[in-house]
């Protein structure tokens, strides 16, 4: 019995450590040790992705919003709902891509059956994409300009994160 309790405590601690669903900060250092590996003005490392529908997505709009999230994270769910309900979701000058950290295509497609997001989802089952931009903390929001340079990075744990999605420099 004690062994089971220890395993449960360890699993809980690990999940708490990788979840970005607790506190909020918006810069590259975070009180929980979250690190962001890309800064304002730096070139985004990807110029295209493959969606869960098998479509190639090229980053080519004037403004882009890359969302790194997890389907199980309540902060990710809230942020995606806020973005979907905002004017950003229908802005023709903005390209939005949501990348599921540690998520496969099947899981993301089931998630989207419920959420009906108006932008493509990209699977990142092994964290190959996510690990190039951060060590922990979700949702992560990366705002890019017309040249795919970073305008701003945010950890979207707080309510009304959509209000901080502004491309002014």
Per-residue pLDDT of the chain (169 residues), as tens digits, is 444 434 433 443 444 444 445 433 334 455 667 889 999 999 999 999 999 999 999 999 999 999 999 999 999 999 999 999 999 999 999 999 999 999 999 999 999 999 999 999 999 999 999 999 999 999 999 999 999 999 999 999 888 999 999 998 5
End-to-end CA distance of the chain: give it in Å, rounded.
56
- Helix (H) / strand (E) element for 70: namely none
* The predicted structure's pLDDT at residue 24: 33
- Kindly report the pTM of this predicted structure: 0.82
* The predicted structure's pLDDT at residue 169: 55
* The predicted structure's pLDDT at residue 33: 79
Length of the chain: 169
* The predicted structure's pLDDT at residue 32: 67
Query: Going by C-beta distance under 8 Å and a sequence separation of 6 or more, which residues neighbour residue 72?
Result: none
* The predicted structure's pLDDT at residue 16: 41
Give the other-Cβ count within 10 Å of 35's Cβ: 12
Asked whether the beta carbons of 151 and 65 are under 8 A apart, the reply is no
Q: What is the distance between the alpha carbons of residues 155 and 24, in angstroms, rounded to a whole number? A: 7
């Amino acid at each position: 019995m004690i062994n089971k309790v220890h395993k449960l405590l360890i699993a809980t601690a690990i999940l708490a450590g990788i979840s970005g669903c607790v506190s909020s900060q918006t810069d590259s250092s975070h009180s929980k040790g979250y690190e962001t590996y890309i800064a304002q003005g730096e070139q985004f490392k990807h110029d295209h992705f493959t969606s869960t529908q098998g479509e190639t997505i090229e980053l080519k709009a004037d403004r882009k919003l890359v969302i790194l999230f997890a389907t199980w994270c309540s902060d990710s769910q809230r942020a995606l709902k806020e973005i979907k309900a905002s004017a950003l979701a229908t802005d023709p000058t903005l390209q939005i891509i949501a990348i599921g950290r540690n998520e496969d295509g099947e899981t993301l497609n089931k998630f989207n059956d419920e959420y009906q997001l108006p932008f493509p989802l990209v699977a990142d089952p092994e964290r190959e994409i996510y690990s190039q931009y951060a060590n922990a903390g979700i949702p992560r929001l990366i705002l890019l300009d017309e040249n795919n340079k970073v305008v701003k990075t945010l950890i979207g744990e707080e309510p009304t994160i959509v209000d901080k999605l502004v491309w002014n420099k």
